Amino acid sequence: MKEINVKPAEGRLGVLVVGCGAVATTFITGVLMARKGLAKPIGSMTQYDKIRVGHGVDKQYLHYKDIVSMADLRDLVFGTWDVYPQNAYQAAVYAEVLKAKDIEPVRDELMAIKPMKAAFDKNYAKRLDGDNVKDCKTRWDMVEALRADIRDFKEREQCDRVVVIWAASTEIFVPYDAAYHKTLDQLQAAMKADDREHIAPSMCYAYAALEERCPFIMGAPNTTVDIPAMWELAEKTHMPIAGKDFKTGQTLVKSGFAPIIKTRNLGLAGWFSTNILGNRDGLVLDEPANFHTKEVSKLSTLETICKPEEQPDLYGNIYHKVRINYYPPRNDDKEGWDNIDIFGWMGYPMQIKINFLCRDSILAAPLLLDLVLLSDVAVRAGRYGIQRFLSFFLKSPMHDFTQGEEAVNNLFEQYTMLKNAIREMGGYEPDEEID
Amino acid sequence: MKEINVKPAEGRLGVLVVGCGAVATTFITGVLMARKGLAKPIGSMTQYDKIRVGHGVDKQYLHYKDIVSMADLRDLVFGTWDVYPQNAYQAAVYAEVLKAKDIEPVRDELMAIKPMKAAFDKNYAKRLDGDNVKDCKTRWDMVEALRADIRDFKEREQCDRVVVIWAASTEIFVPYDAAYHKTLDQLQAAMKADDREHIAPSMCYAYAALEERCPFIMGAPNTTVDIPAMWELAEKTHMPIAGKDFKTGQTLVKSGFAPIIKTRNLGLAGWFSTNILGNRDGLVLDEPANFHTKEVSKLSTLETICKPEEQPDLYGNIYHKVRINYYPPRNDDKEGWDNIDIFGWMGYPMQIKINFLCRDSILAAPLLLDLVLLSDVAVRAGRYGIQRFLSFFLKSPMHDFTQGEEAVNNLFEQYTMLKNAIREMGGYEPDEEID
Amino acid sequence: MKEINVKPAEGRLGVLVVGCGAVATTFITGVLMARKGLAKPIGSMTQYDKIRVGHGVDKQYLHYKDIVSMADLRDLVFGTWDVYPQNAYQAAVYAEVLKAKDIEPVRDELMAIKPMKAAFDKNYAKRLDGDNVKDCKTRWDMVEALRADIRDFKEREQCDRVVVIWAASTEIFVPYDAAYHKTLDQLQAAMKADDREHIAPSMCYAYAALEERCPFIMGAPNTTVDIPAMWELAEKTHMPIAGKDFKTGQTLVKSGFAPIIKTRNLGLAGWFSTNILGNRDGLVLDEPANFHTKEVSKLSTLETICKPEEQPDLYGNIYHKVRINYYPPRNDDKEGWDNIDIFGWMGYPMQIKINFLCRDSILAAPLLLDLVLLSDVAVRAGRYGIQRFLSFFLKSPMHDFTQGEEAVNNLFEQYTMLKNAIREMGGYEPDEEID
Amino acid sequence: MKEINVKPAEGRLGVLVVGCGAVATTFITGVLMARKGLAKPIGSMTQYDKIRVGHGVDKQYLHYKDIVSMADLRDLVFGTWDVYPQNAYQAAVYAEVLKAKDIEPVRDELMAIKPMKAAFDKNYAKRLDGDNVKDCKTRWDMVEALRADIRDFKEREQCDRVVVIWAASTEIFVPYDAAYHKTLDQLQAAMKADDREHIAPSMCYAYAALEERCPFIMGAPNTTVDIPAMWELAEKTHMPIAGKDFKTGQTLVKSGFAPIIKTRNLGLAGWFSTNILGNRDGLVLDEPANFHTKEVSKLSTLETICKPEEQPDLYGNIYHKVRINYYPPRNDDKEGWDNIDIFGWMGYPMQIKINFLCRDSILAAPLLLDLVLLSDVAVRAGRYGIQRFLSFFLKSPMHDFTQGEEAVNNLFEQYTMLKNAIREMGGYEPDEEID
């Protein structure tokens, strides 16, 4: 067994969530309920999954916490920022995700969580109109104000460590621009120059978090941490970063189903994915500029799983289309419909249709818990920069595209990466190949 | 690298298919077309898949034939038995699976394949009424007649090796009976005593094949080779056996989809599977006694994948129901509809529905090719008895239940077993764990 | 305008529901809530629908109550029988159909509705095990006891009129037997002889109701009132009868969708219907003998709509299959999946799939309201015997099959019959043809 | 019985189809095959439907041709225009709608149908690039050239009467502009001035047809005949016009299914419709300007069926969304997925999903036949201008919106209109109300 280098998870772990909407309140409420024994944190890998360590006679199946030191649910402390001033109780009720019986027992704790003023720019999310926002002159001012928030929270709540996670809306698409996003110097300069075109508010959150020595996780499809400048900052501050876009509904299914087709060496002619959703996330995505951010995030999946260059007969001509539609009658209960055109023996076509009636926040909540806890483990294990082992939880996993790296989108390969990282941090051999 | 012990695949490989219906003719036609370059054997692992061998700098991705010596499509010779006397061309046209343009180019070769008389007992498949049947007094006579058929075929077609594969109908259910099926002596005695209750005709095929030193593969859900007596015969004759039930439509999806849920640690409350199919297989299954054989074969899948005993919160109370319905309007284009009730964070329910419009014979054909070629590899590698590495291709994989062994139904674990076996036979390290 | 002969709906209308389960309590709760203005009786024809009366310049669109005198929701008084002793509040909570917020405001009224002991025979519904049952020696005793119940209820609640409606489980199938069910004398004799094979408990309810001058409505697929003996009793007592089987989910869709295909003169090759449901109704139907009753009721639909004899090219060869599956994970939220195989120009096939995620009790409740109110109108209009105009609400509408009469299953023709009857009772011309 | 005024259908009826693609060739091939007894014109009202005439003892059910004189299939003669020069045989093979066995028997007849040069403007359909186009200086030149084509065809083929029907692509959206489209004078002036913004090529076809005394039918969603100027021309020339957009897949279902919900007085919260299609029609619609034309045509359906103003509780807040997606893997086999959110008793929500795997041309072909034959009947009956009785066949039926008229979209009301018109032209009483 190798030497173990993970510092123990002592003291309180602060969790600062950007956005206090459906996703954030479902996550927080669930944790509060679970630690009272009133709900089960189903879907959470850190709470349920067991992985093999060792081989042959040494083989064991262990929970993550039995491999690496991990913060207990009782040690978590929550804070949040939001453009709307409602406290977490009010926001949870408004979201209509959870039933009253699943909120009321922790009403007081939720009411105590009052959003700090958000760093916000309406140009990045036109459909939002909250006014609980900071009055900042420049992007750099935003960074400074957010850093102060983090420090205040940490002191007030007596936290030993803090993780910052974005669970707010999708911003409009900010493509990578080598003139502004390549180096940390460029990024700082643009912030100080208040360059509102190239600097999204989310970048200020990430910047502030890293400077305050907090890991930062991007749960929306924003390109916030998908830029080398931010990687440089993460290296400099020795902090982990992860993103992007919580893998909840349709992409979760796609990243698991495409491997079935691939594994069976069946051909794939086309994949049409459509979504209907009616919560605030859907409203924001109804704006074409915001949708574009999402679409870019969702389209890459199939190619990296099927590897057309290796099996051109099977995957050389896939027609992949993704549509997202705002449809208010469903609220948070989003629904995906996938139509998959495959072909088999002698090229004969067949069809598979998958209809997923899911719940956005219910699927997202355990991802937040796992990303927070595992980022915290990474800090204590001395891992920093892009955390590829967290790809499992993300729709469009980070990777260093400047080096020609490709994202790993296959759910089962992502799982192997996750297991290997846990093993390695726990001092075991990271003994699975990603085939 | 370990020593390689697989004898080279020299000479002609005879393929004797029990049943000359939709599945058999689609398989044979496809192989004949493929070796003329007129069709692609899509869905076949042996023709398309590549697997990793070696680690680190030695890592390579190779086709199976580049790891172990494997019969070429050009070396295959086909024969068949059927209760209907139509030749393979007539049967292929009657089946309405393939278009004329995909049959006509090999018309002459197909016409030359005339079914030998079947060993048949109408009590085992009431809905069939063909009269191309052997006139045998006892089950033992059936064995003797089938052995003669195999020898004649081998000599006539100048084959070096022969594989026998069952692609005929589902028989009525024959449960394992320790008084008749446990030892080879019991089995022989029952055959000689013409015990028609305990000896299905399919058992005569298996017995004859093994005695003639041919591997035997059971493609229907018949319990033919799921009995210790047959394993004893396989051991004695040093022949591989495999079964049962080609994994084509709904179970293929189930064995791949259940792992997605399991991997994500989502809960599973129920899984309802219904099927409509209208070919001769469906007609036979419309008889309750024959359906029962199928149902037993299909129900075991979920439990072995989800392992309720390890995650009772998630899988402790799964309601699993499977229905098969004869529905002639579709003919060979069978269709599955699955409704999956999952639950997530705090127990909130969600639904997934999968509608698979598939084609039975198109999905089955590559399985026949792979099972035949890989059984032949196994013979040459000196492997005999139950071939668990072929579980990947089968709905209800063989396992020694008398030793408490469990079937492996998870598609991805089955794939690992397949890869490890190929690696091992090829002299590489079988280096993947089945987690 | 013709003379109007409907007596005014004065005084209180008693509603006696057989069964105090999900359907009954949803119906009662909804009425109680609606008359407080706290809920809307959506889906009810009598509360929402308007129909045309008159032609040309005299054309008007009127609510039913503005055409014929109709009991107001405020005039309804409820009673019930059940094998379980729980009051309507307890039963409503147990059923898990309605949310607490939709029950609590009428809690006291519901608690006051305590089921009378049921006339029950476990052989007719093996899966039920309640013990709130009458102790009767013979079927005739059941009749006497039920008559007493009705009289007591009427007096206690000071009702002017009473309607009895069956919303209890499906009994095992009792086929029409001309030796027992043809004449009223036969029926009486069988009841007195306690012939438990030919006399279902439900027949005792119907008999008692009619003798007490109450209309009787059969909401399950039981053949209770589908026998000439019962028609004779209805004639004798001048009471309306209606049945059978509330038209809720899949059959509602089928009776509306088949007319689309028929109207467009598209061909129909097959229709496969499967259902999953998990409430007590589903549990009872899981027993083959009870399912058979349901299946017979559901299969007749297509033939009477499509009229194969008139369009043999289009409807001469329909393969129709109906399956019902008990599937507890859904409870009252039953779900239908229909697969429809149509064909068009030159015989080319196409497919339509309908997936109906419905709620049994939510769809049934307005039917109870309408059937009760319209039966009461029929009484006051002097209509008795089989009420064909109520076919709209029923899966397997009554008709005098001894005269070769056919059921009308086309939803739009049923609607025409309903409108014509309302018009006629209201003194208007019943001026629509049923084409 | 009224006097009958329909002139007999003597001599040959010319059918000039604009566009010689999948729809046109499927239509023509089917008619040619049907009149040889080699195929059945399924889906055609004029060939299959029977309607009631008379009441009571006089009631009869008659085929249309037995009510009004109608051209026989043997009397039809076909011509076509197209931007691609391939003859109808080549185009039918290219379209891949029909199997070879359904084309070959009429190969020679199809080869003889060679498209005349099209009047085309690439700005109206950017994705099309054929070069079999007329060289016209102005829109007025197009009209003149098309008129000459019609006269030549009529003489060459010795037709007594000719009908012109548009089965070509969707053009970009041309909104009604009162300055150009209101009067015939305006229209002529714009054509002569070669106003390419306000005059679509399709208008030249319609203009030419009417001037040559041919009825004109618009099968695409183009606004061609939805302008008062064209109505004036139809009045002047005493010619019928009809449009727009053949009612094939999703809208056919919608116009039949919405009446089910409406008839049952269930509430409707939302209706989401998405389509995938891969033929040339889909390619053209992938251009946003062309899609807009289609979307406008498809959105009006629900409102006119549900009449929210009369039932605000039920239909006052419907969220209706329609999406069309180009998806080449399916070619002509388009597919619709509808998700319908309804609500019932006390407002409880339920869902219906309809998945229609249809074939565009197979559904369209009988519509062309019926529209052609019935337009010809209308001419002989002296009917001219907008033919509302043809609404049954059209997605967005014509109506005089300048007079506040509303389209009738309910399939069953459209059917009533159709039947009444046939009855009236046949001298029977048009005796059904459209309720």
pLDDT in tens, C167-185: 998 888 898 999 999 999 9
**Two tokens, residue A146:** 């957010």
Do D55 and D1 form a contact (C-beta atoms < 8 A)? no
User: Among residues B410, B433, B394, which one has the least CA distance to residue B259?
Assistant: B410
Among C294, C316, C298, which residue's Cα sits nearest to residue C254? C298
pLDDT tens sequence across B131-154:
999 999 999 999 999 999 999 999
B228 near B329, Cβ under 8 Å? no
The helix (H) or strand (E) run that includes residue A301 is helix A301-306
> What pLDDT score was predicted for residue A1?
43
pLDDT greater than 60 at residue D1: no
pLDDT at position C61, please?
93
Is B327 at the interface with chain C, CB within 8 A?
Answer: yes
Whether the CB of C351 is below 8 Å from some CB of chain D: the reply is yes
Q: How many C-beta atoms surround the C-beta of residue B5 within 10 A?
A: 12
Q: Domain-by-domain residue ranges, chain A?
A: 11-244+359-424, 248-356
User: Which residues in chain B are closer than 8 Å to C274, comparing Cβ atoms?
Assistant: 274, 323, 325, 337
Segment D295-325, tens digit of pLDDT: 776 677 888 899 899 999 999 999 999 888 8
Instruction: Scan residues 281-310 of A and list those with Cβ closer than 8 Å to B.
Output: 310
Structure tokens, C19 = 């069964």
The 10 Å Cβ neighbour count of residue D148 is 13
Is-contact D241 D216, C-beta < 8 A? Answer: yes
**Average pLDDT of the residues in B280-290:** 73
pLDDT confidence of residue D324: 87
Question: Would you state the pLDDT for residue D303?
Answer: 86
Tell if the CB–CB gap between A49 and B265 is shorter than 8 Å: yes
DSSP H helical segments within B222-359, as ranges? 228-237, 250-263, 280-285, 288-299, 301-306, 312-315
Q: Give the lowest-confidence range in A30-39, A203-212, B322-331, D282-291.
A: D282-291
What does the alpha-carbon distance between residue B189 and residue D134 come to, in Å, rounded to a whole number?
Answer: 87
The answer to whether the CB atoms of B327 and C335 lie below 8 A apart is no
Q: Which of C302, C337, C340 to mutate to test the interface with B (most CBs of B within 10 A)?
A: C337
List all chains that touch chain A, counting a touch as 3 or more CB pairs closer than 8 Å: B, D
What is the pLDDT at residue C297? 64
pLDDT the model gives residue A3: 54
Q: State the pLDDT at residue B332.
A: 80
Enter the pTM of the model: 0.92
Check CB contact of A323 with chain D, cutoff 8 Å.
yes
Stretch B112-125: mean pLDDT, rounded?
94
In 3D space, the residue among B123, B145, B144 whose CA is nearest the CA of residue B134 turns out to be: B145
Could you read off the pLDDT of C276-323 as tens digits, one per residue? 988 777 777 777 777 777 776 667 788 889 989 999 999 999 999 988
Nearest to D329 among A325, A337, A341 (CB): A341
Q: How far is CA D241 from the centre of its chain?
A: 10
In tens, the pLDDT along B343-365 reads 999 999 999 999 999 999 999 99
Residues 93-152 of D with CB under 8 A from C: 98, 102
CA A316 to chain D, closest CA, distance in angstroms equals 13
What pLDDT is recorded for position D3?
54
Cβ contact B138:B192 at 8 Å: yes
Q: Exposed/middle/buried for C58, CB within 10 Å: 0-12, 13-18, 19+? A: exposed
pLDDT, mean of residues C392-413 = 88
Find residue D53's DSSP bridge partners.
Answer: D60
Q: How far apart are CA B309 and CA B313, in angstroms?
A: 9
Q: What is the DSSP letter of B383?
A: -
| Whole-number pLDDT of residue B433 | 74
Please work out, in degrees rounded to the nearest 5, the angle formed at the alpha carbon of residue B180 by the alpha carbons of B179 and B182. 80
CA distances from C395 to A39, A313, B332, C252 (A): 42, 52, 33, 8
pLDDT at C263: 93
d(CA D94, CA D48): 30
Work out the percent of chain C whose per-residue pLDDT is above 90. 77
H helix and E strand count, chain B: 15, 13
Dihedral over alpha carbons B343, B347, B350, B354 (to 10 degrees): 10
Cα–Cα separations (whole angstroms), residue A310 to A306, A414, D287: 9, 20, 33
CB atoms A311 and B412 under 8 Å: no
Name the average pLDDT for chain C: 92
Among B211-215, D56-60, D372-376, which is the least confidently predicted range? D56-60
Contacts of D277 in chain C (CB under 8 A): none
Interface probe with A: pick from D332, D338, D339, most Cβ of A within 10 Å:
D339
The mean pLDDT of D218-245, rounded to a whole number, is 95
Three-state SS for D231-259 is: HHHHHHHCCEEEECCECCCHHHHHHHHHH
Q: Sorting pLDDT into bands at 50, 70 and 90, what band is D285?
A: confident
Residues counted in chain C: 435
Amino acid at the residue B134:
K
Nearest to D345 by CA among C371, C98, C249, C41: C41
d(CA C152, CA A280): 57
Question: Among A319, A321, A329, whose Cβ lies nearest the Cβ of D270?
Answer: A329
Q: What b-and-e string marks burial along C254-263, b requiring 16 or more CB atoms within 10 Å of the CB?
A: bbbbbbbbbb
**Smallest Cβ distance to D344: which of C43, C343, C356?**
C43
Nearest-CA distance C99 → chain D (Å)? 10
Burial of residue A101 (number of CB atoms within 10 Å: 0-12, 13-18, 19+):
exposed
Q: Which helix (H) or strand (E) holds B340?
A: strand B335-343
Report phi then psi at A78, rounded to 5. -110, 145
Q: What are phi and psi of C340, to 5 degrees?
A: -120, 125
Nearest beta carbon to residue B319 from set C272, C319, C327: C327
What pLDDT is stored for residue D184 in this prediction? 97
10-residue block means of pLDDT along chain A (435 residues)?
A: 74 97 97 97 96 88 96 98 96 93 96 97 85 94 97 97 95 91 97 96 98 97 93 97 91 93 94 88 74 71 88 93 88 90 95 95 97 97 95 92 85 93 92 74
Which of D329, D339, D355 lies at the smallest CB-CB distance from A276?
D339
pLDDT at C21: 94
Give the amino acid at B140.
W
Q: What are phi and psi of D104, to 5 degrees?
A: -55, -40
Angle C258-C263-C265 from CA coordinates, rounded to 5°:
100
Whether A272 contacts chain B with CB within 8 A: no
Concatenated DSSP letters of D262-285 = HHTT-EEEEEEEEEEE-SHHHHHH
What 3-state DSSP class applies to B310? Answer: coil
D143 — phi, psi (to 5°)? -55, -50
Q: Is the pLDDT of residue D346 over 70?
A: yes
Phi, psi of B51 (to 5 degrees): -125, 155
**C329 touching B (Cβ < 8 Å):** yes
Residue type, B148: A
Question: What value does the mean pLDDT of chain B take?
Answer: 92
pLDDT of residue A297: 64
Tens digit of pLDDT for each residue in B90-106?
A: 999 999 899 999 999 99
Angle (CA) A151-A152-A157 rounded to 5° is: 105
Amino acid type, A126: K
Give domain C11-244+359-424's CATH number out of 3.40.50.10800, 1.10.150.120, 3.40.50.720, 3.30.70.100. Answer: 3.40.50.720
CA distance B148 to A47: 62
> What value of ipTM does the predicted structure carry?
0.93
- Please state the rounded mean pLDDT for residues D68-82: 97
CB C167 within 8 A of CB C27: yes
Fold of A248-356: Dihydrodipicolinate Reductase; domain 2 (3.30.360)
Mutate to test the interface with D, among A268, A275, A276 (most CBs of D within 10 A): A276
Distances (CA, A) of D248 to B384, C265, D166, D293, D426: 59, 13, 15, 16, 28
Spell out which residues of chain C touch residue B272, defining contact as CB-CB under 8 Å: 276, 325, 327
pLDDT of residue A4: 59
Contacts 24+ apart (CB under 8 A), A387-391: A387/A240, A387/A241, A387/A242, A388/A417, A389/A417, A389/A418, A389/A420, A389/A421, A389/A422, A390/A217, A390/A242, A390/A418, A391/A417, A391/A418
| pLDDT of C1 | 43
Whether C202 shows a pLDDT value over 80: the answer reads: yes
Are B174 and B198 in contact, with CB atoms under 8 Å apart?
yes
